[in-house]
Chains A and B, each alone.
Chain A
Amino acid sequence: MFRDRTLKYLLVLPALIIILLVMFYPIAYAVYTSFYSYLYGRITNYVGLMNWSLAFQDSFFWHSILITLIYSVIAIPIELVISLALAISLFELENHISKKFITIIRSVVIVPFVVMPTVTGVIWRLIFMPNFGLASEIFEILHLPNIDWLGQSTNSMIAVIIMDIWMWVPFLFIILYAAVQSLPMEAFEAALVDGASRMQLVRMVILPLLKSSMLVAISLRSIDAIRIFDQVYAMTQGGPGDATMFASLQLSNTAFGQLNFGVAATELFITFVIMLLIVGSYYLIGIRRSANVQIK
């Protein structure tokens, strides 16, 4: 019996070692890197905590963290509201239109999520091109003043958020639509028997039941928002100036543009901790919520 159990673990061990190596070696190497200074792309000497001190003084890095948070705080709630509205509307429509049509709508809504992020960035760069872009044309037709979308700091952030909404609503929609479909019908029937209006049904039945799914969706989306890179690189390259220089772009610039690998590794850890704090707070909210439900 004992020998069987030992053998079982011994057989698993090689795979476990490989997985641990693959997962933790890069992290351990990044920790190691953060204690060394680099010049001409190679290690020069051990500098202790100096890179950490430099990272905390790096105004470019903290600016990039700030704008990443601003973008996340604006974009994610908008995306959540739109995707939730879409999911509930499509769920409502299920009883009124054919299944085939629902499938078509669902497929069309998902399309932006399938497009490669870099291609998305290029498409939206073309749309927001001053004087030639589609956005400019629409504004001209509507006799509205021409807006310099990618040439002004605030406008370029708005442009990135618009692109982001287009790109990420489908993802949140998929999660929430699946969640809405799996809601227990009894709750709906009880609410309808009690004479609940459509709005009350949404506010008092659907939304509370969807809270866990929304929490998962927001957590996943927040992780991705902090990692935003490809689409912004293709659309604005972080500009104008540093207006859309999100954390990932700045880190890549520090590491590969300035060859400052030590500081970049340190800043990577700081970003990682910020990410953990954000996602951790969602989980805490989730745990507290389930505890409350149990108490009730």
Chain B
Amino acid sequence: MNKKLKVYPIAATALLSGLAVSASIVPAMAASTAPVQIATFSGPEADALKALAPLFTKETGIKVVFTEFSYQALFTKELESVSGGKGTYDMIFMDDPWIPTFAGGNYLYPMSHFGYAPKGFAKGAIQVSEWPPAPGYNAPLGTPSGPRQYYSLPVTGNVLMFFYRKDLAKKYRINPTQWTWNDVNKLAAKVTTKKFFGFVLRGDGGNSSVADFSPILWAYGGHYFNKNWTSALDSPHGIAALTEWVTLFKRYAPLGSASFGANEVGNYLSKGQAAMGEVWPSGWTNVMNPKLIKFTRVPGTIINGKLVQFPEVGVWSAGIPKNAPDSTNAFKFLKWITSEKQQLMYGGNGLDVPTLTNVLLNKQLDKKWPYYVPFYDSLNAAKMRPRTPAWPFVEQALGTQIVNAELGKVTPSQAMQNAAQQIDQYMKEHGLSN
């Protein structure tokens, strides 16, 4: 017999027996060592979570693997995973406007499924996890009226805050306890020069511009939607708010602001090139010079002698999909990461904002990072964006019109009219409004 032919049966037998052995071993190994798969956003917040994960593994023996995505890609990947047969992820991180899609779409386990009732979270943070939304917020048409449940736990706190140069505010004697947009305009007019800017904003449209615009809209008495989910943007309040935005953009903002996102705004403020701006504190607070920059609630306006002021919530929470391969261990990690001990560590770097009241008001932490208390104050006064799965479309329609108004292609009034028309058409076409 040919030597080669002699070798083949031996090799084939070895290969087959190898496959058989590994086929019996692999599932057993997978069962004992399969890590908890977590989808998260890429950024400093995720870095801090990743840094804590080895401690969890040490305590419990459960491995945790993070898969990071950019904002838009995260939403898509998570939706693909939760809407498929067997999910890829055991736990998903969600920005608060995504909750209507994930909780409203019935993709997540309520926390009661694990016999858990969330406790100790700041009121402004835990509200994002509730579905149907709390009274005061309109639920999408066709949403069952109750019972209200928590479908996620807030991990990274965020609320849009007002950052300003305290030295300049003092110098020009515009230093109120509660800022109004009128005060902002006054200070900006005094400090703006060719190389230094009174106000810096995220003018690039979409998610970021609409997020920065919301506190102005609400302060001017405007709303996004009426009770029947028709657009409320084309109103005197909405137009006044956009006029304010355009004033800030044209008079006091740096060149190129129509392409600015969070990085540009944060950099202008941290490098001392701008006096004021709205910033999500998570990821930015510890790079600001505390001797120069102060953080407080976003400005409001005085309506009928009363200060109208609403910060905007931007909390990232984590939930467990119903098709998660390992929901039990995922919940263990979720509970662990939102415990007081871990949240203290999570917030200890000054970069990531915790969500538990006790941690935000912790005296030692406050001594080290003296902005958690004003953050807590803002968070509890904050409002969530409308609870509708159509929110991404609202961001595109309004965001585009905001930029058109910035660039002078349309007036604020035309911009609001266009945005309202597009939103109304979309809501009607998708059966989301009456």
Min CB gap B266→A, angstroms: 14
Cβ of B396 and Cβ of A146 under 8 Å apart? no
The 8 A CB mask of A138-169 against B (1 = contact, 0 = none) is 00000000101111110010000000000000
Q: Which of B178-186, B250-258, B307-315 contacts A (4 or more CB under 8 A)?
A: B250-258
CB of A1, distance to nearest CB on chain B (Å): 34
The answer to whether residues A259 and B101 also contact, given A146-B255, A156-B259, A241-B403 and a CB cut-off of 8 A, is yes
Once A59-B422, A239-B205, A256-B76 are accepted as A-B contacts, the answer to whether A129 and B256 lie under 8 Å apart by CB is yes
On whether A148 and B255 interact (CB within 8 A), knowing A237-B204, A239-B206, the answer reads yes
Please tell me if B392 contacts chain A, counting CB pairs below 8 Å.
Answer: yes
**B332: interface (CB < 8 Å):** no
In the complex the two chains form, is B259's CB within 8 Å of A130's CB? Answer: yes
Q: A60 — which chain B residues lie within 8 A by C-beta?
A: 396-397, 400
Within 8 A of B (CB), among A103-149: 129-131, 146, 148-149
B354 at interface by CB-CB < 8 Å? no
The residue among B72, B105, B205, B256 with the most chain A CB atoms within 10 A of its own CB is: B256
What chain A residues lie within 8 Å of B254 (beta carbons)? Answer: 130-131
* Cβ–Cβ < 8 Å partners of A54 in chain B: 429
Tally A residues with Cβ within 8 Å of B. 33
Assess whether B79 is interfacial by the CB under 8 Å rule.
yes
Identify which of A33-41, A90-98, A186-194, A196-204 touches chain B: A33-41
Contact between chains at B396 and A256 (CB < 8 Å): no
Contact of A257 among B72, B83, B107, B429 (CB under 8 A): B72
- Least CB distance, A96 to chain B, in whole angstroms: 45
A41 touches B257 (CB 8 A): no
A151 close to B392 (CB less than 8 A): no
Residue in A146, A240, A242, A253 whose beta carbon sits within 8 Å of that of B203 in the complex: A240
Chain A proximity mask over B396-413: 1 for CB below 8 Å, otherwise 0? 110111111011010000
The answer to whether B306 has its CB under 8 Å from any CB of chain A is no
Contact A151 B203, CB 8 Å, known A42-B105, A130-B256: yes
In the complex, whether A83 has a CB less than 8 A from a CB of chain B is no
Is A151 touching B259 in the complex (CB atoms < 8 A)?
A: yes
Residue of A whose beta carbon sits closest to that of B103? A40
How far apart are B261's CB and chain A's nearest CB, in angstroms? 8
Assuming the A-B contacts A152-B407, A240-B258, are A40 and B105 also in contact, with contact meaning beta carbons closer than 8 angstroms in the complex? yes
Cross-chain contact B393 with A240 (CB below 8 angstroms)? no
Set of chain A residues within 8 Å of B151, measured between Cβ atoms:
none
C-alpha spacing A41/B403, complex, angstroms: 29
B104 touches A (CB below 8 Å): yes
Q: In the assembled complex, which residues on chain A have CB atoms less than 8 Å from the CB atom of B104? A: 40
**11 more A-B contacts (CB under 8 A) besides A39-B389, A240-B406, A253-B392?**
A41-B82, A130-B254, A130-B259, A149-B256, A151-B255, A153-B409, A236-B259, A240-B205, A242-B205, A242-B400, A257-B396
Interface residues of B (CB under 8 A from A): 72, 75-76, 79, 82-83, 101, 104-107, 203-206, 254-260, 389-390, 392-393, 396-397, 399-404, 406-407, 409, 422, 425, 429-431
18 CB < 8 A contacts A-B: A39-B430, A41-B82, A42-B105, A54-B429, A130-B254, A130-B255, A148-B256, A151-B256, A152-B258, A153-B409, A241-B258, A241-B399, A241-B402, A241-B403, A253-B396, A257-B75, A258-B390, A259-B79
